[in-house]
């Protein structure tokens, strides 16, 4: 599984009070994926745009909040929250907690190798850091 590889960027936790973007999903683990791969992963849910944050994460926008929620529920399942995170103590079986929990997505198969992905509802804080080093794999520029 490619998730065992050295990921280029660290995962970012969303503060519980951060404003959610209900029409967007924040996905982590996309280090070897291109924009077309991301679109293919959510193809059944009609993604509208991929916003690259860094080499390891991106936001996927959908036409509305219902399409985004269908994508979140249809591609994986909520993970129990980790102690010490903003989601600690939340019940992963309660649908009201959906915006705050990471989800384990179904693996994406890239060139015969499964890529493990996790995702959550995007927030307004999930943006590219304008001061981040320019070092990047720029995979989104390739098919």
Tens digits of residue pLDDT in 54-69: 989 999 999 999 999 9
Tens digits of residue pLDDT in 83-141: 766 666 666 667 777 888 899 999 999 999 899 999 999 999 999 888 876 665 665 55
Fold of 2-7+17-123: Alpha-Beta Plaits (3.30.70)
Which tokens sit at 88? 């600690």
3-state secondary structure 45-109: HCEEEEEECCCCEEEEEECCHHHHHHHHHHHEEECCCCCCCCCCCCCCCCHHHHHHCCEEECCEE
The model's pTM:
0.85
Which tokens sit at 142? 């390739």
Contact 26, 20 (CB under 8 A): no
List phi, psi (to 5°) of 122. Answer: -70, 155
């Amino acid at each position: 599984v490619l998730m065992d590889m050295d990921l280029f960027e660290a995962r970012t936790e969303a503060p519980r009070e951060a404003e959610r973007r209900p029409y967007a999903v924040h996905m982590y683990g996309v280090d070897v994926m291109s924009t077309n791969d991301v679109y293919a992963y959510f193809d059944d849910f009609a993604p509208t745009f991929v916003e690259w944050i860094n080499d390891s994460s991106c936001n996927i926008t959908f036409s509305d909040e219902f399409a985004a929620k269908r994508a979140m529920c249809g591609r994986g399942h909520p993970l129990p929250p980790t102690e010490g995170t903003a989601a600690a103590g939340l019940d992963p079986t309660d649908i009201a907690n959906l915006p705050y929990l990471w989800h384990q997505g179904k693996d994406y198969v890239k060139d015969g190798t499964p890529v493990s992905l996790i995702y959550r509802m995007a927030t307004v804080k999930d943006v590219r850091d304008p001061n981040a080093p320019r070092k990047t794999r720029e995979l989104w520029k390739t098919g």
